[in-house]
Amino acid sequence: MKTPVPSEPSPVETSTKKQVNLSIIVGALVILVAVVVGVYLYLYLQETRDTSAVVPIEEVGVSLVDAVPQEKALYSGTYEGKEAIFYTNPKRNIRNAKEEDIPYIGFLDFGSSGITVFDYRDLTNPKRIASLPFQIEDTFSFKYSEDRTIFYIGLIQEWRPRTPSRGGILINSVYAVDLRDSSAREIWENEVGSDRYESKGAAQISEIVDNKFVVLVLYGCYGCHAGPPIDALVVNIATKNETYLGRVGDIKINVEQNTVSYRNLAPFIEDCEPVWDWCTDKSTVMRPVGETYTKQLNP
């Protein structure tokens, strides 16, 4: 019995096998190159993300998350567990930046805790809540409405030119930002240092009442050690009409009757507050005393 002799593969079969093996090798090389290129691009983008152009990278409702803060934009976020706001100011950035590799210096307002300089990249959960038509020079206070749909901020706008002989002017204003659509509306404005009020300084937001009234208290001067603000007024948010109260305290508003009650202030000598770095021992503070007065608010 003869042992069968295996037949030799035909030239066609040999060529087909070589083509299949070559295709597998080429495919593997393409996949490998794609993986290498993908890893390189990912690492490159990670390394350069802080110096990229200003591009919105995520939309949350109507609030935008920006990789780099935009000029004339207002951001909300948290810093060390506290609610804060952030904005940039190119002139002050240069003066306050301590390291050349920190390009995003801005200013955080902690309400009653004061204002500090900080890096945008260290702001937790930053969201752009409004874009304003002017550069912000300074801020003094901010408050949310009770339902957190409206954000109120008191600020100083950029210098406005007046005349060559008198230089520029600073405008102090209070804005209401609707967080549902990022619209910003001015509800009060005053030229810093004007004779409109007894106090010549900027306004701090003391209270928001039912999104109908804002209570403002004015500092004695701007750019000086003015102490706490004491000159008060009430602004109707819808109409922008105001009721000037003067140097009073213990302010309470009755929305239904459209009235405000208050007491006059009297001076007291007390120990310096810890946040007053200009005060070393004792200071004169104004406290509400005596009879309560009531007056009608302007509609």
Q: How confident is the model at residue 172 (pLDDT cuts 50, 70, 90)?
A: very high
Residue 226: its pLDDT value, please? 61
Of the listed ranges 14-18, 123-127, 171-175, the one predicted with least confidence: 14-18
Tens digits of residue pLDDT in 138-151: 887 888 898 889 99
How far does Cα 286 stand from its chain's mean position?
Answer: 31
> What is the side-by-side order of every strand in the sheet holding 282-296?
203-209, 213-218, 231-236, 242-254, 259-271, 282-296
Single-letter residue type at 126: P
Q: How far apart are CA 81 and CA 230, in angstroms?
A: 29
Can you tell me the mean pLDDT for 270-297?
A: 79
Instruction: Work out the number of other CB atoms within 10 angstroms of the CB of residue 174.
Output: 25
Between 118 and 289, the more confident residue is 289
Among 250, 223, 255, which residue's Cα sits nearest to residue 237? Answer: 255
Task: Tell whether the model's pLDDT for residue 199 goes beyond 60.
Answer: yes
Of the listed ranges 47-56, 162-171, 182-191, 239-248, the one predicted with least confidence: 47-56
Can you tell me the mean pLDDT for 125-136?
A: 87
Phi, psi at residue 182, to the nearest 5°?
65, 20
């060529």: which residue's tokens?
15
Query: Which residues are CB-contacts of 71 (< 8 A; sequence separation ≥ 6)?
Result: 88, 90, 135
Phi, psi at residue 12, to the nearest 5°?
-70, -45
Q: How far apart are CA 42 and CA 35, in angstroms?
A: 11
Asked if 95 and 31 touch (Cβ cutoff 8 Å), the reply is no
What are the strands, taking DSSP E only, across 13-159? Answer: 56-60, 63-66, 73-79, 82-86, 105-109, 115-119, 124-131, 136-144, 150-157
Instruction: Work out the number of other CB atoms within 10 angstroms of the CB of residue 147.
Output: 8
Q: What is the CA radius of gyration of the chain?
A: 31
Task: Tell whether the model's pLDDT for residue 229 goes beyond 50.
Answer: yes
Query: Which residues are CB-contacts of 222 (< 8 A; sequence separation ≥ 6)?
Result: 156, 170, 172, 192, 193, 200, 201, 202
Give the bridge partners for 284, in sequence order: 269
Q: How confident is the model at residue 53 (pLDDT cuts 50, 70, 90)?
A: very low
Residue 208: its pLDDT value, please? 95
